[in-house]
Structure 1
Amino acid sequence: MSERDTVLRSLHDVGLAAWFGGSLMGAVGLNGAAKAQGESWEEGARIASSGWAMWAPVGAAAIGVHLVGSSGLLAANATRVVTQQGVCASTLAKTVLTGAALAATAYTRVLGKKIELASSGNPQDAEKAGRVPVDTGQAERHLSYAQWSVPALTCGLIILNALHGEQQRPAQQLYGMWRRARTLAPYMVRSRHWHLMH
């Protein structure tokens, strides 16, 4: 097996960078510009909704690219996850954060679509929105929280990725494997003693 996983790392990092950067720019720049330029709530919501809708396919592609790279790196480093102390914990934390970021991203899209329909001047959209009435003030507050949670969670993933990089240093790998072996040693001795007794 090759010791380098350049393609997988590139997919992982570029996808995560776009996911984080796009969500942060949207929360700061796009939403801020929509509020500043919109003469009414409806107009501001339409501007923001239009921008987020244009970003959605790119964001989805970035997430997909990141997940492909992340899954590939997990498979390539499966041995280290098992044998090096600390790697399993950081991998589990990264998996949980990824799941939370995916859930937050999906939730923002659902709320964004509701606001898009409620603010649209299109009669067909207004009819759809009327079938399921939405408290736009509450939905907008929830959307704001969710949109800010995405860059916060993906920033956490970037930090954990930096930790993974540090854990791959040769000295760290040796130290982690030695700690894992020392942790497992008492169980191995007990198991051997049990087999000898029986």
Structure 2
Amino acid sequence: MSSDSDDHVLAQAVHDLGSALWFGGAVMGIAGVNKSGADLSQGIDRIRVAGSAWQRFQPAQFGGIAATLLAGLRLTQVGGRRLALQQGFARVGAVKAGLAVAGAGATAYAAYSGSRIARLAEEAQRRGETVEVHDASLPTDRTPAEIRTWQRRQRVTQFLVPALAGANIVCNAWLVQSYRPVATARGVLGRLLPG
């Protein structure tokens, strides 16, 4: 096995594991972490439990994103000739890179939104106000306006993150399949004989 082949296998494995961690964590956050507080009786505790869980998971999630981005760069280097020779490879690779960067940004913004919700809830609690929420990302009609605004922002980004991470995984699947001999031949012929 050549060094390039070894690099490709290692980079692909790191990329796929990082993407799985990122996507799976985002879906688990929507389905579990943010909703789990609804089982508690007080709104402030509903926010605190989700905030604590996300704070503990954040290093792993951003590690998954870093693995996806860095291994993606390495995969681009290893597959460099395909960018020029194989029709569609560069376009899908560019879309994949854009999705990864946008997803990383959305993840960071979702984390920031969660921290703003937690900070605003704690400030309201210190002022003696009751913080009413259904769960960490879903307000009630009695949720303070500023918290409600940040919850709305977090709800949008919490669904955007797995959509972008999942689309990145789909593009990666297309790129991996393009290494099959028939796909490679079709892509090269498509580049050489357009139309």
> Which TM bucket (shorter chain)?
0.7 to 0.9
Which secondary structure state, in structure 1, belongs to the residue aligned with residue 5 of structure 2?
A: coil
What is the alpha-carbon root mean square deviation over aligned residues?
A: 1.9
Question: Compared with structure 1, are the counterparts of its residues 102 and 46 closer, same or farther at alpha carbon in structure 2 (3 Å cutoff)?
Answer: same
Identify which of 148, 154, 163 aligns with 2:174.
Answer: 163
Identify which of 18, 22, 31 aligns with 1:19.
Answer: 22
* Structure 1 equivalent of residue 32 of structure 2: 29
Q: Is the radius of gyration larger for structure 1 or structure 2? A: 1
Identify which of 30, 43, 46 aligns with 2:45.
Answer: 43
* Structure 2 equivalent of residue 173 of structure 1: 184
**Contact kept in structure 2, 1:9 and 1:69, CA below 8 Å:** yes
Amino acid in structure 2 at the alignment position of 1:52? W
* Structure 1 equivalent of residue 146 of structure 2: 135
* Structure 2 equivalent of residue 53 of structure 1: 55
* Structure 2 equivalent of residue 106 of structure 1: 108
Distance (Å, rounded) in 2 between the aligned partners of 1:178 and 1:72: 26
Residue 156 of structure 2 is aligned to residue 145 of structure 1: yes
Structure 2: gaps of 5 or more residues: 127-143
Q: Deviations over 1:26-65 (max 9, x none)?
A: 111111111x223222211111111111111111111111
Q: TM-score, normalised by structure 1?
A: 0.82
* Structure 2 equivalent of residue 76 of structure 1: 78
Q: Deviations over 1:127-183 (max 9, x none)?
A: xxxxxx971001111101111111111111111111112211111111111111224
* Structure 2 equivalent of residue 187 of structure 1: none
Distance (Å, rounded) in 1 between the aligned partners of 2:10 and 2:69: 13
Distance (Å, rounded) in 2 between the aligned partners of 1:48 and 1:10: 31
**Contact kept in structure 1, 2:4 and 2:78, CA below 8 Å:** no
Figure out how many residues of one structure are paired with residues of the other and give that number. 174
Structure with the higher helix share, 1 or 2 = 1
Structure 1: gaps of 5 or more residues: 124-132, 185-198
**Contact kept in structure 2, 1:114 and 1:134, CA below 8 Å:** no
Question: Compared with structure 1, are the counterparts of its residues 180 and 84 closer, same or farther at alpha carbon in structure 2 (3 Å cutoff)?
Answer: same
Q: Deviations over 1:67-87 (max 9, x none)?
A: 121110000001101110011
Q: TM-score, normalised by structure 2?
A: 0.83
